[in-house]
Structure formats: C-alpha cells, structure tokens
Structure 1
Amino acid sequence: MATSFKYANKYVLITGSSRGVGRLLSEYMIQNGAVVIGFSRGRPAYECENYHHISVDIGDPKSVQEGFAVVRKLVPALHILINNAGVATSQYAMIMSPESAQKMLTVNIFGAFLVSKEASKLMRKNKWGRIINIGSIMSSLEPAGGSIYAATKAALISMSNVVAKELSSFNITSNTLALSGYPTDMMRALAPDVLDGVINSLVIPRLTMEDDIFNVIDFLASERSSYITAQTIYLGGIN
C-alpha cells in the first residue's frame, strides 16, 4: 500500500473495524493521514495513535447514541462514514433459523440506518460529508442460499439512495460499493458452490483485491466527487 496524506485532516468513522474489510480500510485510512474512529462490538484488533476504538452494537439504538456521544468528545468533526459492519448466513430459506435472519436484518440495514442518521448530523454542521455503504454484489446476483443477506444489501442500496436525496443540500453524498468475493471470515463461511457461482457470474471472474476496494473508496470520498451521489459501483461487473 502506497503511503500518502490524501486523508490528512479528515475524520473517518468505520463500522465493523476490528476485522475483515473494516480493519483493512481502517489501516488504509490511517496510513493515508486520517484519524479513524472504529465502531465494533469486540475489542480493538490493533492500537494506533490515530485510531480510536469505541465498543458499539450498531443494531442497538441506545448503544449507537452512546457511541456518538463519545465521538463528539474525541473529534471536532466527521467527514467520512464507511458503513461496513455486516453479518451473513449462507443457508437456504427453508432451513434458516429466525435468529440468523433477524441478526442480518438488524446489523446489515437497521444498524447502517442508525449510524448514518447520527453521522449525518455531525456532517451537516460543516456542510460536507461522504457516506459510503459497503454492499454486496449478491444484492443483484441473488444466489440460492442468500435470501435474507441479498435482501438486506438491496435494502442498503435503496436506503443509501434515499439518504442521498435527503442530504444533498448539505453537500453530503451517499453511495454504495458492492463488493464481490474478498477473502474474509464472512466469505469463507459461504458454501463453496455459492462462492463459485458468484465469482463465475462476474464480468471479470476473479476475487476482489485490496486495491480494487481502495480505488473506489478513494473515488467516492474525494473532494472532486461532490456531484457523485445515489450511485452503486459493482466490483467485477454484473451481467
């Protein structure tokens, strides 16, 4: 990863920051000059001068409000929100437990809504903000075994687009990066046939690489992307 200061003087909030894509993006932002606030239910996976970990259950409104009370004390502004936290259960609908389905609904869409709601209040003060939602290409591919997960990621896109309309007058954009297969614990939990089906359905049938993610994040977070909002970018392309 190239080191620069493209995010100098930027305060970034990333949910699900302790592992996977959340940790990857936290490290990337810090290496590029940002101060990162990480929301996660677990303990911080690493320590750094420019990283502040807050234990938050994003599906719990009270926990989110308490987390943002801490954010307001830690940083003078919030410029970028990356709604990354998510859970996935790959299982056919007929045998999926209600608990698994409810957890995906709570974290993947309700949690993203709660965090976006509070973050936008902070962004509005400075009339500048970037909300980037980490979606999934499964919202479009709709593979067998992914009924609730695909539905929550489709709902995330709809929510992002509506939020974009509501916040446009405050110079706040809201977009979605729909990931394809990237090697995380969540991906490894998928049934091999489901993962193979997803990869083989892409226009460019390969796994996602780190720089693929960084490239889109940089584009959506850029000062020059003030006219880019209510959009979804599908990594790997969809037919």
Structure 2
Amino acid sequence: MSRSVLVTGGNRGIGLAIARAFADAGDQVAFTYRSGEPPESLIKSGALAVRCDITDHEQVERAYKEIEEKHGPVEVLVANAGVTRDQLLLRMSEEDFSSVLETNLTGTFRVVKRATKRMLRARTGRIVLISSVVGLLGSAGQSNYAASKAGLVGFARSLARELGSRNITCNVIAPGFVDTDMTKALTDEQRANIVGQVPLGRYAQPEEIAASVRFLASEEAAYITGAVIPVDGGLGMGH
C-alpha cells in the first residue's frame, strides 16, 4: 500500500536518492528543502516539495499541515536534513557549534516530535535518522558535526524505548563517504586519501544509502528498532 513518506533535506545528495527510492516504490513522497529550487525530476514523479527550515518551529508546523492535507499523516519519516561548518576547535566560534547542533540535532527533534503525534494515534510508524560514520569515529575539524550526529544515536535509542509499545520503530543509518556533489568538489588527492581508508576501496553511491533506509521502513524490518546501521564500506568497523 502507498504510504505517506516525508524526507527532510530531500532536494539533493543522499536525501534526493532516498526520496526517489520511495517514489519509485509507489509511496506518496513529500520532501523539504531550505533554499534554491526543488529538483524537477522529483516533482515530475509526483513528489510534493515543501520549503521548510527545520530550525524554525513555525515552518515545521506549516510543512506538516501542508503534507497532511495532501498526503495524509506522515507514516514514514526520514530525518536527513543537515549542515556542516567545519573548523578546528580553537578556531570554532560558538555560532559554528550551535548552528550545526540546531539543524542536525534540534531540528531532527522538531520534525520527529511532530510526526509522532499522528503515529501514536495510528499505533504504527517508521522513523529513520541519517547520522554519519563521523558521529561514531570522530573527525578532526568536525567536533560540532560529530557531536550532532552522535547525539542522534542516543536520541533514536531513547525513542525506540518510548515508542516501541505503539509499533513505532526508530533506527539510525550511519553513512560513510558518499559520492555526492560535496565529495566531487574534492581534489583527486583528497579523494584518493579518503578511499584509502575504506576497506571496500570506493565511495558509496547515494542509492546504496537509500536502499538501507527503505529496508528499515519496510515490513521486513518490523522487529528492528534502536539499531545503528553502518553503510560505510567497513570504515567504522568496531564502533
């Protein structure tokens, strides 16, 4: 059956691949984007584009009302929206630190809290949070990003305990290095150095992350909750 799916930050990279995967499977997909124009290909597939800055409570509320009017209550939420402001600790401003946590962690809190209101009534739901291997391994110059992504793990596991009795699962995907526009901007030397750290010797494709998300949202994964699934080519083994 077609479900109402929301993907935050679904206009590019990993989020776009996730939104496409659900749309291709026949679900009713809505996705948020903060700036620019939504991808035309996704709009043509029937997806609903909703402009929303998840750091703004009122924008989140308006986005949900629009989605609920057009697609019904959100049954699958993929919290993917995130930002980076990389800097070494001694050079990192309070704004650099707080703004990353405000989007990646507090913003996720906002969208998840709003979705669970309807999921609790329906006594069913799927929540998938997109973290990062950096949240498990750490990364020099990314203490703000790593802290925000590590925080998603504790957040998800707490929700898994709170919501499990209502048949709502909450899981985490921790991608490694993914072949997106962001990584394509790196130099050949930087890309080679990164690939050298990955046991499988390559970047992930966005579609590989999307496939794992779709699995966690499926009936086959109904007994999985509170899990952290690494999709990182073996980079974060043991963490």
Q: Do the two structures share a fold, i.e. TM-score over 0.5?
A: yes
Structure 1 equivalent of residue 84 of structure 2? 88
- Indicate yes or no: 2:227 matched with 1:231: yes
- Indicate yes or no: 2:29 matched with 1:36: yes
In the alignment, structure 1 segments of 5+ residues that lack a partner are: 1-7
Distance 1:66 1:228, change over 3 A: same
Task: Choose 38-47 or 153-162, whichever is displaced more.
Answer: 38-47
The offset of 1:107, in angstroms, is 0.7
CA deviations over 1:23-54 (Å, ceiling 9, x no partner)? 11112211111111111112322223521111
Task: Choose 200-209 or 86-95, whichever is displaced more.
Answer: 200-209
Q: How far apart are the structure 2 equivalents of 1:192 and 1:154?
A: 29
The offset of 1:158, in angstroms, is 0.9
Q: How far apart are the structure 1 equivalents of 2:90 and 2:193?
A: 20
Q: How far apart are the structure 2 equivalents of 1:190 and 1:120?
A: 39
Quick one: higher RCO (CA 8 Å, sep 6+), 1 or 2? 2
The offset of 1:187, in angstroms, is 3.8
On the 8 A contact 2:11/2:33 being kept in 1, the answer is: yes
In the alignment, structure 2 segments of 5+ residues that lack a partner are: none
Structure 1 equivalent of residue 12 of structure 2? 19
CA deviations over 1:180-222 (Å, ceiling 9, x no partner)? 0112244457798887665444443421123421331232111
Structure 2 equivalent of residue 159 of structure 1? 155
CA deviations over 1:72-125 (Å, ceiling 9, x no partner)? 211223221110101112321112233322221111000001000011112222
On the 8 A contact 1:180/1:198 being kept in 2, the answer is: no
Task: Choose 179-188 or 130-139, whichever is displaced more.
Answer: 179-188
Q: How far apart are the structure 2 equivalents of 1:99 and 1:195?
A: 29
Identity %: 32
Structure 1 equivalent of residue 132 of structure 2? 136
Backbone CA RMSD of aligned residues: 2.2
Q: What is the aligned counterpart of 2:39 among 38, 45, 55? A: 45
Normalising by structure 1, we get a TM-score of 0.88
- Indicate yes or no: 2:3 matched with 1:10: yes
Alignment size in residue pairs: 232
Structure 2 equivalent of residue 71 of structure 1? 67
Structure 1 equivalent of residue 53 of structure 2? 57
Q: How far apart are the structure 2 equivalents of 1:100 and 1:191?
A: 25
Aligned AA (2:22): M
Instruction: Classify the secondary structure of the residue corresponding to 1:182.
Output: coil
Aligned AA (1:18): N
Instruction: Classify the secondary structure of the residue corresponding to 1:112.
Output: helix
Instruction: Classify the secondary structure of the residue corresponding to 2:55.
Output: coil
